[in-house]
């Protein structure tokens, strides 16, 4: 199922009930004034994480935990400056943690456990005191 809500005048937050839409394969909420908590955990998503997510400038929480996502974690150097929480645990993600994560200065919660990540942990900002 595809849900297009883009180019409207929606404000506030997306309802958490969107995470109950088990057949949702595309969600487009661009060009709105929404603060977004995107919780798509445990709905059997598979494949790569779309790099289009990095254009969600009002994204506050990103939760793709307990899915079957694979590939590398996308570069987060886009407009995601409001992001406070990332949960990508229990997937099949591989490669290194992107260095662009150090630019997420509001990030206070990061869970990447139970993946196949390798390489160095980025150094700087929040990662400096690890």
What mean pLDDT do residues 27-54 have?
A: 76
Of the given ranges (9-18, 46-55, 120-129), which has the lowest mean pLDDT?
Answer: 9-18
The CATH code of the domain at 36-129 is 3.80.10.10
Residue 71 pLDDT class (50, 70, 90 cuts): very high
Residue 16 pLDDT class (50, 70, 90 cuts): low
**CA torsion through residues 66, 20, 83, 2, sign:** positive
Q: Which residues of 45-68 are buried (b: 16+ CB within 10 A; e: fewer)?
A: beeebeeebbebebbbbbbbbbbe
Q: Which residue has the higher pLDDT, 16 or 38?
A: 38
Domain boundaries, the chain: 36-129
CA distance 54 to 35: 14
Structure confidence by residue, pLDDT tens digits, 120-130? 988 888 777 65
What mean pLDDT do residues 106-130 have?
A: 87
User: Phi first, then psi: what are they for 117, rounded to 5°?
Assistant: -75, 150
């Amino acid at each position: 199922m595809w849900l297009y809500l883009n180019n409207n005048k929606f404000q506030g937050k997306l309802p958490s009930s969107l995470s109950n839409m088990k057949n949702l394969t595309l969600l487009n909420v661009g060009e709105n004034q929404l603060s977004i908590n995107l919780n798509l955990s445990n709905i059997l998503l598979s494949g790569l994480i779309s790099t289009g997510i990095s254009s969600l400038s009002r994204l506050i929480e990103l939760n793709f935990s307990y899915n079957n996502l694979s590939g590398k974690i996308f570069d987060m150097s886009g407009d995601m400056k409001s992001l406070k929480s990332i949960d990508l645990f229990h997937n099949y993600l591989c490669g290194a943690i992107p260095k662009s994560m150090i630019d997420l200065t509001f990030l206070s919660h990061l869970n990447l456990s139970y993946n196949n990540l390798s390489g160095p942990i980025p150094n700087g900002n929040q990662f400096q005191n690890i």
